[in-house]
Structure 1
C-alpha cells in the first residue's frame, strides 16, 4: 500500500473520530477501565529521572494526555498528531487547564523538531499506526542521549483478542498493526536499551467482576498472578493485551539522520 495513501486514510479516520462530540471509541472504555496497572507503570517511567523544566513530546497526542502529570513535572509540553481536529481539541484543553503547550498537526514519522531535543517522548497507542522503521528513526533523532521514549501499545499475538479486533473493524483503522515480537527486535536497531513490561493476560478475567464489590481484590490478585507468569515464563508476555515500552540510549544511524527544514524550536 502506498505510504501517502495510508497516511491520508489515517488522517481521515482520526479527523472524523475527533471531529465528533462523542468519540466512537468510547464504546471501548469498559475495557480500558482495567488498565490502572499499566497506567501506573507508564507514569512512573515518564517521571523517573525527569529533569526540571525538561521537554516532553506527546507523540500522536490526540486530544492531549494527562495534564496533571505534566503539571507535576513542570515540563515544557509539545504535541504532534496527524489530525487537525485532534490538535484543535488538544490546544483548547490546554488553554482551559492553563497549561502552556505547543501542539502542531504533522507527520510523526518526519517531524520538524531539532535533533536531540526532547527529554521524554510519550505516546498511547500510536506506534502500531505508523511505519516503525521511519518512526523509530525519527524518535532516535529527536530524543536526547539521556532521554527516553515511553509508549503504551497493544500486542498482536493473542488469538482471542485478535478475533475481537476483527469483529469491531469500524473502531480501528485498516492499517493499524498491534505489535509483535519482531517489532521489539527492530527497536534495538535504533535504541541501545529496549525494556518491555507486559500487562493483562489472566487479569483480563477481572472484566467479569467489574460491577461487583469484589473487583478491586480480584483485579489486584490477577495482576499479581500475571506478573509471576511473565517472570517464570517470559515467552507468555507476547500473549498479553498491552505492553509498556521504554526506549533509552538512542543510536546515531543514517536512518535517524533525517534532514528536516524549518526546525521547530522552543519559544
Structure 2
C-alpha cells in the first residue's frame, strides 16, 4: 500500500511546524525521515497516524484520503510506534500485544485462535515470547520498545509508521529490529536519528529541515557531505561500508561545527 503526504501544513501554539510537506512511501519499501532536532519529524508522523490534525493538506493511502476513513478501518491498514509509550503498565506483555488485534474484533468478543496465533508470532519476531506473562511495568525501556513493536506487527498493517524505533535498544537489538523491518517488506515510514542506520535500512530518504522536505532520494544520493554540512551543521565524509556496501558516514568529532558555505 502506497502512502503519500500532499502539501501538509500544521500549526502548533501559533507556530507553523510543518510548511507544505510532500513525500511518498512506496509500497513494500522502507522510507526514512531524517533531520535535525526540531525539524518536524515527529509532528509529521503524528499527523500521518492521526494523532494531530493538519491545518491543510492530505495523507493518502493508495489514493484514499485517510481523514475520510473510520478509525477502526484505518487501524487495519496503518499501525504506529510513537515516541509516547507510557500506557498499559498494569497489563502483561501478551495483553499489550493483543490490543493490536482490536481493529479486527467485534465489541466484547474474546480473542480467537487466530488472534492468539498472531500475537504469539509477533512476540516471537521481536524476541519477547519468553516475557509474555510478565507485567509491562517490570520491563526495561528496550524491552518495552520491542513489545510495542510486536503490538504494531500484531495489527498486520499495510503501513508501519515508526518514530525513533531504536530508542532505548542496545546495539544488538537495534540491528535485529532494523533487519526485521527490512524483512517485513511492509510499507514503512520511519524517523531515525542515526544516519548510518537510515543509510543501511532505508530504500529512500526524505530530509526534513524547518518543517519542509529539503531533499529526497536514495541514501547514496541524499547523504552527501554538502547536505550534512548544510542541514545538520557537521563535517563528514561519506564512504562505503566495508561489510554491506551501504553509504557510511564518518563524522569529524574534533570539529563538530561545519564551516559555513562560501558565497
Structure index of larger Rg: 2
TM-score (norm: length of structure 1): 0.31
Q: Choose between structure 1 and 2 for higher RCO, CA contacts under 8 A separated by at least 6 residues.
A: 2
TM-score normalised by L of structure 2: 0.31
Q: Which has the higher helix share?
A: 1
Name the structure with the higher strand share.
2
